[in-house]
Amino acid sequence: MEMTTRPVRSNHRHSLWYERILLSFRFHYLLGLVLTSLLPALWGWGWFTSTIEHDGANTALLASAIAYMVAFRTVHQLSRHPGTDPCMYVLAVVTAVYLLILMVLELLAIPFHMGQLLMSGLLALLCGWVGYRVARRYRRRKMALVPLGNIGEWFGHQDIDQRWLSGPDLENLRVDGVIVDLSCDLSDEWQRFLADCTIMRIPVYDARRFGEASTGRIGLDQIHGNRYGSLMPRTGYELLKRLADIAAVLLMLPAALPLMGVAAIMIKRDDPGPILFRQRRSGFQGEEFDVYKMRSMYVNPDDVRPTQEGEDPRITKVGKYLRKYRIDELPQLFNVLKGEMSLIGPRPETPALTEAYERDIPFFRYRHVVRPGISGWAQVEQGYASEVEGSRTKLEYDFYYIRNFSFWMDLLVVIRTIRTIFTGSGAR
């Protein structure tokens, strides 16, 4: 007896025309563009009266439209990666973009209507926050899971509405997609069921790839299937990133140098000894280099070890604050200028640890395919990791970063790093 039941179009959640419109990002995007540009423009034009000069209002209209499009395109790109709540990024991104537009207009001495631009920014914040809040409430994904293979290991903690299928039939269930472990053997009934889902525009996702996109990690057992080549970073972006690193460091140095000077005085007063120390690390393409850091430990800490509670008596009083707010990492800006590091990338390990990890962790050496960074995806997602198992997880985050090597990925890490610096979270 054939068990398969053909899925129909009504099984696709939010497939009705008004649902697709009201819950569409494009609809919210265009609606917000009209509201944040047109309403302030009407006010700038004097609500269709001729009592106000239109030149400044027209400039503000164009500036508002550009700022809105850049801001929400940025938020949308950032939200494509796991662990990102768009509502949390609306305030920071919208404020930054509108301030940047305002600075450009001021520097170029272009007349514009200040009140109109400010009104547009406030409306953009309101539209963005409300739009993403509504989307988060009504667009929590409802996924049908095929109970075969190793699918269970990927979805014990995912933020999705899980509906496990008892057979190759959706019955009356409306879902956003179907998740299946494509590496397992599927019967003819299940294969026909998945084919019918695809025909009826119900997306079918491979469990491993879906889990990767949900966790921000690439399992080490997937590297063979990737054949290395799919993890090759984009060489075109590498050059652009290198130029951006140099420009960013040159802009940061005027503020970083005085901060390092104050830290140097505090280090000397707290504990006699050198201010800086160098440590050999494995870097880009396996080349070794000396990384620079501000000293945060006592000169002779060998006779003590970290406590079970995680306290490290080797760290000086000043060093605790230097580590908490990442000030001890500032000398690595010179490593970036020398081309040994990047601002964003996998953290470099010592040659001894690299050799040890390569014995215990398959493919560990592959993380050297990109320049190591002062901050990275693993650091903002996982924090400090010292044991082998923690390093395996860190490597999975590093592989995700390498596969998604892009401007948007780096921007997301930068934003999370800034938040980490101000909160002091994840330090040790």
- Give pLDDT tens digits for 42-94: 876 665 444 445 667 788 889 999 999 999 989 988 888 887 777 778 888 99
CA separation for the pair 175, 13 (Å, rounded)? 5
288 pLDDT tier (thresholds 50, 70, 90): very high
CA 22 to the chain's CA centroid: 27
Give the H/E segment covering residue 73: helix 54-78
CA separation for the pair 14, 22 (Å, rounded)? 10
Q: Could you tell me the pTM of the whole model?
A: 0.80
**Quick check: 198 pLDDT over 60?**
yes
CA separation for the pair 149, 428 (Å, rounded)? 39
CA separation for the pair 159, 75 (Å, rounded)? 20
**Quick check: 349 pLDDT over 50?**
yes
Instruction: Please give the domain boundaries of the chain with CATH numbers for all domains.
Output: 24-138 (no CATH), 140-215 (3.40.50), 235-423 (no CATH)
For the segment 339-356, the average pLDDT, to the nearest whole number, is 90
Please report the sign of the dihedral spanned by the C-alpha atoms of residue 205, residue 23, residue 91, residue 257.
positive
CA separation for the pair 60, 83 (Å, rounded)? 35
Structure tokens at 299: 């000169």
Cβ atoms of residues 89 and 79 within 8 Å: yes
Structure tokens at 77: 């790109």
CA separation for the pair 294, 400 (Å, rounded)? 30
Pairing relationship of beta strands 342-344 and 204-206 according to DSSP bridges: unpaired
pLDDT, greater one: 250 or 113:
250
2 pLDDT tier (thresholds 50, 70, 90): very low
Structure tokens at 257: 């140098």
For the segment 29-46, the average pLDDT, to the nearest whole number, is 82
CA separation for the pair 257, 259 (Å, rounded)? 5
239 Cβ contact list (under 8 Å, min separation 6): none
For the segment 167-176, the average pLDDT, to the nearest whole number, is 86
What pLDDT does residue 174 have? 86
CA separation for the pair 178, 206 (Å, rounded)? 9
**Quick check: 330 pLDDT over 50?**
yes
CA separation for the pair 306, 386 (Å, rounded)? 12
**Quick check: 407 pLDDT over 60?**
yes
Mean pLDDT of the chain: 82
Kindly compute the dihedral angle of the four CA atoms of residues 155, 159, 165, 171, in this order, to the nearest 10 degrees. Answer: -160
What pLDDT does residue 51 have? 45
What pLDDT does residue 419 have? 83
How many CA atoms lie within 13 Å of 304's alpha carbon, on the beta-carbon side? 14
Structure tokens at 316: 């000086």
Question: Could you read off the pLDDT of 225-245 as tens digits, one per residue?
Answer: 555 555 677 778 989 999 999
Structure tokens at 145: 């899971």
CA separation for the pair 336, 344 (Å, rounded)? 10
Give the H/E segment covering residue 376: none
**127 Ramachandran zone, left/alpha/beta (phi>0; psi -120 to 50):** alpha
Please report the sign of the dihedral spanned by the C-alpha atoms of residue 367, residue 369, residue 372, residue 378.
negative
What pLDDT does residue 141 have? 80
Give the H/E segment covering residue 279: strand 276-282
CA 387 to the chain's CA centroid: 24
What pLDDT does residue 395 have? 86
Least confident piece of the model among 91-100, 375-384, 419-428? 419-428
